[in-house]
Amino acid sequence: MQKRFSLGVLLIILLSFSTLSNAGIFDKAEYKTRRAKLMNSITDGIAIILGSEGERQNSNFIYFTGVEEPNAILIIDGMKKESILFLSSKGSKEKVAEMTGIERVMPIFRATRLLSSYQAQTDVIYIPFGRISGRYARKGLLNPGIRISRELNSIKFIREMFPSFRFKDLSPAIGKLRLIKSPAEIKIMREAARITSLAHLEVLRAAKPGMYEWELAVLFEYCVKRLGAQGTTGTLIVPSGPNISDSHYSKNSRKMEDGDIVMIDLCGEYKYYDMDISVSFPINGKFNPRQRRLNKMICAVEEAMRSVFRPGIRSINMKEEVQKIVAKKGIDIDKEGIYRIAADHWVGLDIHDVGPSSRETILQPGMVITSDPAIRLRDENNVVIDGNKIENTLLITKDGCENLTYRVPRTIEEIEKIMAEKGITDIFKELKR
Ligand SMILES: [Mn+2]
């Protein structure tokens, strides 16, 4: 007994060592390049990037350092072209320096003193202001007690200590960098796509009438983690039947009935990179005539969109081209009410990744976007009675696009075939559970 216990302890120690010696997600050269590019847009000052407090590492922080430990601060000096990393832990500075390529690694309590010394060199501090626009700003106006972003809080704090500093928003510069994925990032995103797609396949194999929506959400989370992902990201959206009228539905509490269409929108995260996929399928595994018609239209539109996405275009202008292609198949996008014929959002370290407008930006190789046309049918009382939505995540290549999520079944035949395959619920049934 004693021996088994110490073996267990040894195993835990070995495992934690292997995590500590983790060389980071990318080679240090990748992080160095990212920081060097940022330095070029902040030549008149310094940038401050705050790490998270212990939840998932902040996307900007992971982008520039690869460091996962909480309560860390990164300063990028655009004048002297150097970076300084402040850590809360007493871990090995050499190891962190080796992993990140940052030579100046210091304990966190020295950050204030360093900031003070910068007063003699510049009055400009760049900090990503964070999202305070739209819905959030309106909420804040009604409820001034609402928690503002850590970045805005730190601005208040620095301002009180060192009134000479002016603050500029770092978000646009970071957004521009994160917009174009490097070959190393693309490699990771392909793996994120593989894992997220395989989890979707497992959900399709398991889906049966009589199950609750949450069962599919939980199964998806299990599968992505089992396949090596960090987990899911965004909300787990599993609307069935009447719930498809809400594109952000995530209560997932309804029992799915024979005849229902289900429109899942489930995203996985692997090494901090996200992947966005939606599939629409009949819970009973067989499309009825109305569902067949909607599937065929959305498949045709999504396929046409993929044939149009390419460098040099703005997705806001692509509808006409898509319309022409699908018109040959007898589909009228406007008459049918098919919507979202554009790059809905960027995908990267965040599921709705940072950067300028995904619809109005001229597409370039290395950008990753979603293609997610949808349709909702309404009855005479304007109640949604059926629908279909396909969401793929695409990489813009030098002459078109690559569908990262190509493994997900899309046509009626493909979806029905996968749904007929044995899934975990079939196994439970065999075992009479
Ligand atoms: Mn999406």
Instruction: Please tell me the distance between residue 316's alpha carbon and the centre of ligand 1 in angstroms.
Output: 17
Instruction: Please tell me the distance between residue 339's alpha carbon and the centre of ligand 1 in angstroms.
Output: 14
Instruction: Please tell me the distance between residue 398's alpha carbon and the centre of ligand 1 in angstroms.
Output: 23
Q: What is the pLDDT of residues 191-201, one digit of tens each?
A: 999 999 999 99
Q: Which amino acid is at 37?
A: K
Instruction: Please tell me the distance between residue 237's alpha carbon and the centre of ligand 1 in angstroms.
Output: 11
Instruction: Please tell me the distance between residue 266's alpha carbon and the centre of ligand 1 in angstroms.
Output: 9
pLDDT value of position 6:
55
Pick from 403, 46, 352: nearest CA to 179: 352
Rg (CA), the chain: 24
pLDDT value of position 129:
86
Fold classification of 28-178 is Creatine Amidinohydrolase; Chain A, domain 1 (3.40.350)
Could you report how far apart the first and last alpha carbons of the chain are, in Å? Answer: 35
pLDDT value of position 134:
45
Instruction: Please tell me the distance between residue 235's alpha carbon and the centre of ligand 1 in angstroms.
Output: 11
Global confidence as pTM: 0.90
Instruction: Please tell me the distance between residue 67's alpha carbon and the centre of ligand 1 in angstroms.
Output: 27
Instruction: Please tell me the distance between residue 276's alpha carbon and the centre of ligand 1 in angstroms.
Output: 5
Please give the angle made by the CA atoms of 61, 65 and 70, to the nearest 5 degrees: 55
The whole-angstrom separation of Cα 130 and Cα 124 is 18
Q: Which amino acid is at 159?
A: R
Q: What is the pLDDT of residues 127-184, one digit of tens each?
A: 998 665 444 455 556 666 666 678 888 898 899 999 999 999 999 999 999 999 999 9
Three-state DSSP string of 302-339: HHHHHHHCCCCCEHHHCHHHHHHHHHCCCCCHHHHCCE
Pick from 269, 286, 289, 287: nearest CA to 277: 269
Instruction: Please tell me the distance between residue 277's alpha carbon and the centre of ligand 1 in angstroms.
Output: 7
Q: Strands 374-378 and 392-396, how do they pair?
A: unpaired
pLDDT value of position 141:
62
Contacts of 187 (CB under 8 A, 6+ apart): none
Q: Which amino acid is at 12?
A: I
pLDDT value of position 32:
97
Instruction: Please tell me the distance between residue 80's alpha carbon and the centre of ligand 1 in angstroms.
Output: 40
Q: Do 180-432 and 28-178 have the same topology in CATH?
A: no
Instruction: Please tell me the distance between residue 278's alpha carbon and the centre of ligand 1 in angstroms.
Output: 8
Instruction: Please tell me the distance between residue 267's alpha carbon and the centre of ligand 1 in angstroms.
Output: 8
Instruction: Please tell me the distance between residue 391's alpha carbon and the centre of ligand 1 in angstroms.
Output: 7
pLDDT value of position 13:
45
Contacts of 283 (CB under 8 A, 6+ apart): 207, 208, 209, 211, 240, 256, 257, 258, 259, 260, 261, 262
Instruction: Please tell me the distance between residue 161's alpha carbon and the centre of ligand 1 in angstroms.
Output: 42
Domain boundaries, the chain: 28-178, 180-432
Instruction: Please tell me the distance between residue 390's alpha carbon and the centre of ligand 1 in angstroms.
Output: 10
Give all strands of the β-sheet with 261-270 in edge-to-edge order: 231-237, 261-270, 273-282
User: How crowded is the C-beta side of 125, counted as CA atoms within 13 Å?
Assistant: 27
Does the domain at 180-432 match CATH 3.90.230.10? Answer given as: yes
pLDDT value of position 1:
43
Report mean pLDDT in 10-residue bins for the chain, 433 residues.
49 44 80 98 96 92 95 96 94 89 94 94 92 52 66 88 94 96 98 98 98 98 98 96 94 97 98 98 98 98 98 95 97 97 96 93 98 96 96 98 98 98 94 85
Residue 400: both structure tokens together: 């078109």
Strands (E), 104-169: 104-107, 124-127, 166-169
